[in-house]
Amino acid sequence: MKEKTRRNFWVSSEIECMLNLLREVYRIQGTTATTNYTFIQIANKMKKKGFPNKSATQIRRKWFQMKSAYLCYKRGNVERLLLIPEKFRPIIAQFVEKEIKPNIQELPPSSPETTLPPQPSPSPPLVLAPPVKTSTINSYNISNKRLRYTHSTACSSAKSAKNESIYDDFLTEIKQTHNIINSTFAKMQKILTDFEHECQAERDDKLITFINSMKYDF
């Protein structure tokens, strides 16, 4: 029985390493054309850099997925850009634009440790990542999750505050009721004590009267 194929998850460091190596291979080749051998080279180099879990096929699919997403974005399908992690969108734009108009010498140097900053596009149609676009993408990608989390947190906080308020009101009512009961009990206890004293005085008077009457009879 064949082992079940693991899902092809990509973390940020893997994508960054792949793009840096792709840039390096482009320079060695002197062209931005990609072949199966191009991705085999990148897979081998990624293994040497500590990323052994990516095959040439997986790298090829990831590259063309991001490339296709950027091209769809340029045609007006903004949501497709969500397939590219935000920090790599300027880099993908540079790659794609250079493939459209190859000029390998203008590619900025790569660094495996850092993410390249966005570069101004030489092509007039390129409208990558201006402040408005970045805000728009963030609203699709990050804001949705944060808003849901913030809304949930706010609702939880409001509910917790409401519960605390109800609990405080309940305790206040209990204290007030306790004070009323104590006050009523004290009043009733005084009434009973006074009544008991009256009964004792009446009894004593009757005993004294009875004793005196017995004396006169003898």
Interval 126-150 mean pLDDT: 51
Instruction: Give residue 138's region: left, alpha or beta (phi > 0; psi -120 to 50).
Output: alpha
Q: What is the pLDDT of residue 59?
A: 93
Q: Is 99 exposed, middle or buried (0-12, 13-18, 19+ CB in 10 A)?
A: middle
User: Which residue stretches of the chain are H helix?
Assistant: 12-29, 36-48, 56-74, 89-100, 131-141, 143-217
The answer to whether the CB of 70 falls within 8 A of the CB of 93 is yes
Greatest C-alpha distance within the chain = 148
The CA distance from 173 to 57, in Å, is 71
The CA distance from 218 to 214, in Å, is 7
Is residue 177 very low, low, confident or very high in pLDDT (cuts 50, 70, 90)?
A: confident
Contacts of 127 by beta carbon, 8 Å cutoff, 6+ apart: 133
Read off the pTM.
Answer: 0.44
Q: Which of 9-18, 19-28, 50-59, 131-140 has the lowest mean pLDDT?
A: 131-140
The CA distance from 46 to 42, in Å, is 6
Q: Which of 19-23, 99-103, 109-113, 149-153 has the lowest mean pLDDT?
A: 109-113
The answer to whether the CB of 138 falls within 8 A of the CB of 86 is yes
